[in-house]
Structure 1
């Protein structure tokens, strides 16, 4: 796991620094400077652009990772792989753009008049945001195949967030009108896409000359067929990720979507460990399948699951025990109505981490088509549950639907990987880690609240770290830390 540790460490450092920046944006900058409806608008535009870009890409972001090992040859410009990777998605973008613009009356009809007045001026600009999102995702997939993942993480998690915060401050100080803020917000996605292109040129991997060799390395029909399945699979996955904000905004309003967006952003802290590992896991698993090395895959599956469980339990406890403090930092108290939604979303994120990289194993395996079946089934259930639960429970109902979807799809995938390949991610350490986490969390929860929420947070955080970390080290549940611990203990 040498390359995983190196790239994973870099991505983790970048991601957690980005998490801190994202928290500042979420807790201080955006809720202070934007009304809930305005925040809901930016969230909605990004979610629309993400799905829009996935339709356009026709699954080629996944193709770029799945098939790149067959094209890899730097001296030959990887046989024209990059222009091949960009070609079909650009055609798809033109077709989807025509549909998107023609469907404008139908889409806007789903919203209340006040929300339509806010959304309509920026509807067409959503196409440009989708284009920037598409170009970034394709270049990012190419870099994953090259095992260069840290710089794209740096752009996405740090540079973009710093620029968004700066733009919001300009709006808050009166230097920008709201429509100028939104257009600048869209433009920032273009900036990071252009910077990623510059990085490819810098490392000597911007091979834009098309060659016929790209059509001969692997059968084009196989690649396009995989792309079609990957498209449907990624779309259903996006439905799981974005349908909640869409349906909250349509059924309640953009203001509710803004509140839910804050809850969703807080819960995403739990995705950082898995996301950092997955950036290198996807191409590595593709290589394992190519080499038919199921032994290394099994070790990787178990190791990443254990690490995700350790970090996920710690983060879930740290956030849930200090939600009062987190929401106290947001000056607008209306956002605190999303507290219950945060807890439900945290439970879903934790289950996702505990079940490991099952989805990546399925989608890179010869039976990748089954991932589509899982995702489409769960996407349908998610839509139905959101439709039923949002009118009754509001944004809490949407969080319940998301929790059910995450638990169901990961249970099904974990069983499928075991049934098909006899690979499973669990060892005796997993339940013991969860027992330790429950015990440490219970003891910290019993502490009485201090008059200061800041002091309460510091006390709870310190005690949780000491109890949880000490128990893990004492029981040998983090073997990677043993050499470092022994080295520290040997110091005079």
Structure 2
């Protein structure tokens, strides 16, 4: 876990910096500078683009991670990477043609409930293309064991761009309409920066010749499209469906609560950047002891770190909402559901990477279809029944059921499981801390309350984690900092 931990720490710092900037954007700048209607519109456009992106990418970002290490000659590697760059175009161009041909009908359908959407439907397609190729080049750099720069671009660039553009709206340098189109342009700039970096790490001799295993590459890409789509659908389908049933402003309120709850997964997003290619390499060389070690260590480390974030969020959430405009408050239930779903996902560690990079990857096709169908059906009924709280509950239920299925699948096929002797003890620590601090707050200004309670919880939690020796990796990091 040395290289995983080293790059993960850098990625965690990057992601938390990005989330801090994103938090300022989501919780304050969007809410005050754009207002709930246009905030909801931007959320809807970007979320719908994220739903389209896995199909445009054609699963290539996962295909690169799986097959790259299996090529032994530069010629075959170059053929493979050349194909990887062309495959998304085979999807993007027909989608673009259909979009132009039926633009009026598509835009009318998406704007039935909220007419403000109609003028910006093309943004969805453009952002999807830019994001798809960004992910392809990001995977390109990951297989060179370089994830930090891509992580900086992925997590920081668009948030900083949004912040600059939001202040430009505030100071009336640009209009809200220009903000939306400028933000779209920022995604293309990010894509070109990632492409330049990836090609600098490894520049193939581009060829129209096909690699020898092209059939397997295409089949794998087709299967894993839904692997990527299922996760994206789970995250973004709520923000697509809410405007079809409710006023688009509710998407903004929901987005604020989801953003807060999603902070729990940031350690996993950081670790995944380097963990995925390591698991892929270990599986391709049949080093199952290494896979088992990565699986267990990633699980306990992520549960411990994400568990602390879960506590800090949910034990301060009522006070956090006091800092927001009144109409954005009252999302505690949504935050709890989303953060609990993210925590359970973190507990699985490298589970998804094991399935995706193994010979059993084909199971992801029915799994992805079932997962997407379930969340759409649950949203359809629960949004009507409970409004935006129903969308959060459907996410929690689907994550719990389908991640449990993945857990049992890896146990059945590989005889691997993420539990260690410390897992149960760690769950007890989390439950005890949640019960101890849930009903107690300092009686000061909200910011001071959050800071003091957060520091107290963090110090006590890390003390117990260290003394109980929950994770050797975490203890090693704490020892390193204590010696400075």
- What TM-score bracket applies, with the shorter chain setting the length? over 0.9
| TM-score normalised by the chain length of structure 2 | 0.95
**Residue 269 in 1 paired to residue 263 in 2?**
yes
Structure 1 position 96, deviation (Å): 1.3
Quick one: distance in 2 between partners of 1:199 and 1:100? 31
Q: Is the 8 A contact 2:114 2:247 kept in 1?
A: yes
**What per-residue deviation string (whole Å, max 9, x for no partner) do you get for residues 57-76 of structure 1?**
22212111111112366x65
Structure 1 position 86, deviation (Å): 0.9
Quick one: distance in 1 between partners of 2:21 and 2:435? 29
Structure 1 position 120, deviation (Å): 1.3
Quick one: distance in 1 between partners of 2:266 and 2:211? 37
Structure 1 position 25, deviation (Å): 1.3
**Residue 368 in 1 paired to residue 361 in 2?**
yes
**Other structure's SS at 2:359 match:** coil
Correspondence for 1:215: 211
Correspondence for 2:157: 159
Correspondence for 2:313: 319
**What per-residue deviation string (whole Å, max 9, x for no partner) do you get for residues 286-329 of structure 1?**
11111001111001100000011101111111001111332233
**What does 1:131-150 correspond to in 2, within 5 Å?**
131-150=129-148
**Residue 283 in 1 paired to residue 277 in 2?**
yes
Q: Is the 8 A contact 1:444 1:463 kept in 2?
A: no
Equivalent residue in structure 1 for 2:470, among 472, 477, 482: 477
Correspondence for 2:177: 179
Quick one: distance in 2 between partners of 1:484 and 1:10? 13
**Residue 437 in 1 paired to residue 430 in 2?**
yes
Quick one: distance in 2 between partners of 1:488 and 1:102? 60
Q: Is the 8 A contact 1:55 1:96 kept in 2?
A: no
How many pairs are equivalent?
Answer: 484
**Other structure's SS at 1:35 match:** helix
Correspondence for 1:92: 91
- The 3 A distance-change label for structure 1 pair 160 and 225 is same
| TM-score normalised by the chain length of structure 1 | 0.93
**What per-residue deviation string (whole Å, max 9, x for no partner) do you get for residues 17-38 of structure 1?**
1121111112221111111121
**What does 1:289-304 correspond to in 2, within 5 Å?**
289-304=283-298
Quick one: distance in 2 between partners of 1:110 and 1:396? 25
**Other structure's SS at 2:275 match:** helix
Correspondence for 2:403: 410
Q: Is the 8 A contact 1:77 1:207 kept in 2?
A: no
Quick one: distance in 2 between partners of 1:76 and 1:220? 14
**What per-residue deviation string (whole Å, max 9, x for no partner) do you get for residues 65-113 of structure 1?**
111112366x659323332111121121001112233444454444565
**What per-residue deviation string (whole Å, max 9, x for no partner) do you get for residues 424-481 of structure 1?**
0001211111111221232222434404222321231122112211111111113224
Q: Is the 8 A contact 2:65 2:277 kept in 1?
A: yes
Correspondence for 1:242: 236
Quick one: distance in 1 between partners of 2:12 and 2:377? 36
Stretch deviating more after TM superposition (8-17 or 311-320):
8-17
**Other structure's SS at 2:331 match:** helix
Quick one: distance in 1 between partners of 2:474 and 2:378? 43
**Residue 457 in 1 paired to residue 450 in 2?**
yes
- The 3 A distance-change label for structure 1 pair 389 and 489 is closer
Quick one: distance in 1 between partners of 2:450 and 2:50? 36
Quick one: distance in 2 between partners of 1:485 and 1:95? 52
Quick one: distance in 1 between partners of 2:71 and 2:229? 26
Gaps of 5+ in 2: none
Q: Is the 8 A contact 1:27 1:327 kept in 2?
A: no
**Other structure's SS at 2:440 match:** coil
**Residue 170 in 1 paired to residue 164 in 2?**
no
Gaps of 5+ in 1: none
Quick one: distance in 1 between partners of 2:230 and 2:67? 22
**Other structure's SS at 1:356 match:** coil
**Other structure's SS at 1:329 match:** coil
- The 3 A distance-change label for structure 1 pair 447 and 79 is same
**Residue 393 in 1 paired to residue 386 in 2?**
yes
Computed over aligned residues only, the root mean square deviation of the Cα atoms, in angstroms, reads 2.1
- The 3 A distance-change label for structure 1 pair 485 and 96 is closer
Q: Is the 8 A contact 2:51 2:237 kept in 1?
A: no
Quick one: distance in 1 between partners of 2:477 and 2:150? 30
**Residue 58 in 1 paired to residue 58 in 2?**
yes
**Other structure's SS at 1:347 match:** helix
Q: Is the 8 A contact 1:111 1:253 kept in 2?
A: no
**What does 1:110-121 correspond to in 2, within 5 Å?**
110-111=109-110, 115-116=114-115, 118-121=116-119
Structure 1 position 379, deviation (Å): 1.3
